[in-house]
Amino acid sequence: MLAVYDQALPEVYGFVVRRCTDRRTAEDVTSETFLAAMDSVRRRRETEPTMPWLIGIARHKLADHWRRAQRTPEPVDDLPDRGDDPWDAELDRMVAHHTLGQLSPVHQSVLTLRYVDDLPVAECAEILGRTVGATEALLTRAKRAFRAAYPETQPQPSGRGGHA
């Protein structure tokens, strides 16, 4: 398992850190992932640890983290400073990541599983312990919340036919 750990740690941590709002949480979830993997290998000696298996454990540990966070919300930092960064795509990613961090943990989890991990709704439902119908409804509410929280970049027309 130690050889697998050395090889898998960067990939598992990379998977987790792209889905968390801070490095401390990513480190904790990564640690929990490897502890759970070690326990599983100890219980079932025939278990062969593979990268997809470890990523699956990490995905479940992230879902556990989001459930815990839903019960004990943490404050969210302000939007990152836009500065003179010429890369609009990177800025958009940062704003989207921040916006996601403003949502409830259950909304974060369903949007991340569906759109970052690109999982089908049925698999998201299984990971979150919900029915497919409940997950679809949750996904609809989460998308609505994300759109409402996303900062507007263009002035909107006033609706009176004139200028805003």
Which of 4-8, 27-31, 69-73 tops mean pLDDT? Answer: 27-31
Q: What is the CATH number of domain 95-149?
A: 1.10.10.10
Whether the predicted pLDDT of 92 surpasses 50: yes
What share of the chain in percent tops pLDDT 90?
A: 37
Domain borders along the chain are 1-70, 95-149
The DSSP H or E segment spanning 30 is helix 23-43
* Residue whose pair of structure tokens reads 């400073």 in the numeric block: 81
Choosing among 1.10.1740, 1.25.40, 3.30.1760, 1.10.3470, the CATH entry for 1-70 is 1.10.1740
pTM, 2 dp? 0.52
Which DSSP string corresponds to 6-19? HHHHHHHHHHHHTT
Whole-number pLDDT of residue 155: 46
Mean pLDDT across the stretch 132-149? 94
Phi-psi region of 37 (alpha: psi -120 to 50; beta: other; left: phi over 0): alpha
Whether the predicted pLDDT of 91 surpasses 80: no
* Residue whose pair of structure tokens reads 């298996």 in the numeric block: 53
